[in-house]
């Protein structure tokens, strides 16, 4: 599915890295019990992943030809 929207292999790897780092950092710095921190980190990781996909697709589609 990600191939259809224009994400190549390195973009998919970067997506997983971004989601993992944002989710882990958010889970560590958020307050509450472990049962609260993990869903907060998961939700933050999913949101950052969605933003990453949208921004990468827009950049790949509208970037200048000399890039």
Helix 9-29 / helix 34-62 crossing angle, nearest 10 deg: 150
Q: Is 34 a member of any domain?
A: yes
Q: Does 40 map to a domain? A: yes
Model confidence at 7, in pLDDT bands (50, 70, 90)?
Answer: confident
Question: Above 80 in pLDDT, residue 9?
Answer: yes
Write the pLDDT tens digit of every residue in 43-53.
Answer: 999 999 999 99
- The verdict on residue 41 lying in a domain is yes
For residue 53, tell me if it sits in a domain. yes
Is residue 23 one of the residues assigned to a domain?
Answer: yes
Tally Cβ neighbours within 10 Å of residue 16: 12
Rounded distance between C-alpha atoms, residue 15 and residue 60, angstroms: 14
Task: Give dist(CA 19, CA 52) in Å, integer.
Answer: 9
Residue 39: domain span: 9-61
| Residues of the chain above pLDDT 70, percent | 96
**For 16-36, what is the mean pLDDT?**
95
Number of domains in the chain: 1
Question: Looking at the domain assignment, is residue 4 inside a domain?
Answer: no
User: pTM for the whole thing?
Assistant: 0.84
Identify the residue with better confidence: 60 or 6: 60
């Amino acid at each position: 599915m990600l191939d259809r929207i224009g994400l190549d292999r390195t973009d998919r790897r970067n997506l997983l890295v971004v989601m993992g780092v944002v989710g882990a950092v958010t889970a560590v710095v958020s307050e509450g019990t472990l049962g609260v921190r993990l869903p907060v980190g998961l939700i933050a990781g999913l949101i950052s992943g969605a933003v990453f996909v949208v921004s990468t697709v827009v950049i790949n589609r509208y970037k200048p030809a000399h890039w």
